[in-house]
């Protein structure tokens, strides 16, 4: 399932950031998902609890924002917004466009809860390993 592996990679990234900042818990994750990214927000939301279980992000609110599609025109050089099924230049109608944004998934922001008091979470070498994929 594609969305689960996307989620696992996301959690890995979130864990790394949380460890770097000595956070005890992640309270909120804001993602920006482009319509051309191939990631379904609803499936991502469903897969999230599975991927986050037992991690610092287990109780985090997952906020998914839709990103706009922006194309750059090869004819006139204009950057304009476009819809997913019609990637044309808004300026001249040219079809030789390049997608500037709208095909990515971005970790936009994280809200972290600091570890309180003693027991500072030291940087764990385990965190440095990449997602376990084969
Ligand atoms: Zn154009």
CA 105 to ligand 1 center in whole angstroms: 26
Tell me how many domains the chain contains. 2
Share of the chain above pLDDT 90, in %: 81
Range name among 64-68, 84-88, 102-106, 112-116 with the lowest pLDDT average: 112-116
104 pLDDT higher than 50: yes
81 and 36 in a single domain? The answer is no
43 and 86 in a single domain? The answer is no
What's the pLDDT at 116? 66
How much is the average pLDDT of 42-51?
Answer: 94
Residues 6+ away with beta carbon under 8 Å from 118 = none
1 and 35 in a single domain? The answer is yes
Give me the domain span that covers residue 91.
Answer: 68-101
CA 106 to ligand 1 center in whole angstroms: 27
CA 80 to ligand 1 center in whole angstroms: 9
CA 101 to ligand 1 center in whole angstroms: 16
Rg (CA), the chain: 18
What is the pTM for the complete model shown? Answer: 0.75
Supply the mean pLDDT for the chain. Answer: 88
Please give the structure tokens belonging to residue 84: 């997913």
Q: Is residue 131 part of a domain?
A: no
Residues 6+ away with beta carbon under 8 Å from 86 = none
Please give the structure tokens belonging to residue 7: 């989620």
Q: Which of 81, 115, 117 is nearest to 100 (CA)?
A: 81
CA 73 to ligand 1 center in whole angstroms: 5
27 pLDDT higher than 60: yes
What's the pLDDT at 120? 44
What's the pLDDT at 2? 84
Tokens 């376990």 locate to: 132
Q: Is residue 1 part of a domain?
A: yes
pLDDT band at 115 (very low <50, low <70, confident <90, very high): confident
Q: Is residue 24 part of a domain?
A: yes
């Amino acid at each position: 399932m594609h969305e689960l592996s996307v989620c696992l990679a996301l959690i890995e990234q979130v864990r790394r950031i949380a460890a770097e900042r000595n956070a005890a818990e992640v309270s909120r994750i804001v993602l920006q998902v482009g319509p051309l990214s191939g990631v379904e927000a609803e499936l991502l939301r469903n897969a999230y609890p599975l991927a986050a279980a037992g991690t610092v992000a287990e109780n985090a609110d997952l906020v998914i924002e839709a990103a706009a599609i922006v194309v750059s025109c090869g004819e006139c050089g204009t950057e304009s917004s476009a819809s997913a099924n019609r990637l044309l230049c808004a300026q001249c109608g040219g079809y030789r466009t390049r997608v500037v944004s709208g095909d990515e998934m971005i970790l936009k922001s994280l809200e972290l809860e600091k570890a309180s008091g003693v027991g500072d979470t030291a940087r764990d070498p385990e965190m440095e390993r990449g997602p376990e994929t084969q």
